[in-house]
Amino acid sequence: MTHFSILSLARNALSRHSGWQPTWRDAVPKDGYDVIIIGGGGHGLATAYYLAAVHGITNVAVLEKGWIGGGNAGRNTTIIRSNYLLPGNAPFYEWSMKLWEGLEQELNYNAMVSQRGVLNLVHSDAQRDAAARRGNGMRLHGVDAELLDVDGVRKLAPFLDFDQARFPIMGGLHQPRGGTARHDAVVWGFARGASDRGVDIVQNCEVRGFLRDATGTVVGVETSRGLIRAGKVGMAVAGNSSRIAALADLRLPIESHVLQAFVSEGLKPVIPGVITFGAGHFYISQSDKGGLVFGGDIDGYNSYAQRGNLPVVEDVCEGGMAVMPMIGRVRLLRSWGGIMDMSMDGSPIIDRTPIDGLYLNAGWCYGGFKATPASGRCFAHLLATDRAHETAAAYRLDRFRTGHLIDEKGQGAQPNLH
């Protein structure tokens, strides 16, 4: 840390931070914009940033019903990885990983991108075969992957139960370039970058309907702060996708479910990277503050509530105890929930809708945080050019009708592989 930043920290601490400037403008909505993005999560803000930075489109507003990052962007367990198998997914997530690797320079913002490795444990011969296949597929796509035997796993994570586990650890698939990034910082970094380029970020502005012309084209939105006209409207509302689409009489192949996460009291460093349990609903990492951050499966029924239920808490804790008994001594600090936009094949949608003027970014299930940069790039490309970005060309809405599914539930929507 430089003298300058130490002095600046001390000065701000003594003045109770009264001198700190907001990093982005909290704008008042104008009458109209070239593009409106609904949803001030990571995807909406990244889209606005890339519209301005890559396509030079700056007459843009991001409308957020609450505060930016108050949805899943600020509720996730921050894991980034690109260990996908299918051709529709693998290049997209690897591109996203490459964007993560340059994001802090791009935004000049510390997003705490930390490539500490992601380790998926395997507990049966069949799982080992699947892991080997996935690892080979990843390497063919130029993605880093290591298939580990038990000793390899033991070296990385000696604290796991190797002796008496109900589901013995037989090895694991490791992606060394996977890891974590600070979710709030990603939101703030994209917000600052977009705001600096002229994008209006409007909080406390709920979209309640669409403005349509005589041909049915969407030409604006009705909001809690009045009518706002738009050349194009992009939806990036994650778990609320079906609700907002219904305002335009559109039915999506998406169901909303709650996903919970948990954080413990702060501990000294014990876990080097991200670990997922292959035989139950549990995955874990350790934050830079020392808290163990973990989670498991979605709650089993549809909901739009940002809170979860106790049976899943019990299930997650059982999973943790099964693979890592030392977790039983740890005190839980808090838990929370977010609403997942679960698509029917586990893969996302970045596409035009059948309604002119309305564009869709949705279906990220519980894996959308890692996709934030590439999703923003591809959605911005679609909004700017009316053509799908080549990397996201498979993420079509009509694939659920035509049968061209990207069925990567084993990775996109399997609970233990967030």
Contact set for ligand FAD, span 173-232 (CB under 6 A): 206-207
Which residues, including other chains, have CB under 8 Å from residue 155's CB and lie 6 or more apart?
none
Q: Judged by CB under 6 A, does residue 369 bind ligand FAD?
A: yes
Distance from the Cα of residue 177 to its chain's centroid: 17
Beta strand ranges found along 108-243 (DSSP E): 118-122, 146-148, 171-175, 179-180, 200-202, 207-212, 218-223, 226-235
Residue number with CB closer to ligand FAD (44 or 280): 44
Which residues, including other chains, have CB under 8 Å from residue 92's CB and lie 6 or more apart?
84, 371, 374, 378, 391, 392, 395
- 86 with 406: CB under 8 angstroms? yes
Q: Judged by CB under 6 A, does residue 366 bind ligand FAD?
A: yes
- Binding residue for ligand FAD (CB under 6 A) from 44, 278, 291, 412? 44
Residue number with CB closer to ligand FAD (61 or 170): 61
Q: Total residues at the site for ligand FAD (CB under 6 A)?
A: 39
Interatomic CA distance for residues 406 and 164, integer angstroms: 38
- Binding residue for ligand FAD (CB under 6 A) from 35, 49, 57, 77? 77
- Binding residue for ligand FAD (CB under 6 A) from 134, 377, 381, 418? 418
Q: Which stretch binds ligand FAD (CB under 6 A): 37-45, 98-106, 133-141, 397-405?
A: 37-45
Q: How far is the CB of 109 from ligand FAD (least distance, A)?
A: 16
Interatomic CA distance for residues 107 and 138, integer angstroms: 28
Residue number with CB closer to ligand FAD (170 or 349): 349
- Binding residue for ligand FAD (CB under 6 A) from 48, 65, 85, 90? 65
Indicate the DSSP class of residue 100.
H
- Binding residue for ligand FAD (CB under 6 A) from 24, 364, 379, 395? 364
- Binding residue for ligand FAD (CB under 6 A) from 244, 374, 378, 392? 244
The residues pairing with 143 across neighbouring beta strands, listed in sequence order, are none
What is the residue-wise DSSP string for 205-263?
Answer: --EEEEEE-TT--EEEEEETTEEEEEEEEEE--GGGHHHHHHTTT---SEEEEEEEEEE
- Binding residue for ligand FAD (CB under 6 A) from 192, 257, 370, 381? 370
Q: Sign (positive/negative) of CA torsion 304, 184, 179, 318?
A: negative
The binding track of 127-166 with respect to ligand FAD, each residue x by CB under 6 A or -, is ----------------------------------------
Interatomic CA distance for residues 282 and 278, integer angstroms: 8
Residues that bind ligand FAD (CB under 6 A): 38-44, 63-66, 70-73, 75-79, 206-207, 236-238, 240, 244, 259-261, 295, 338, 364, 366-370, 418
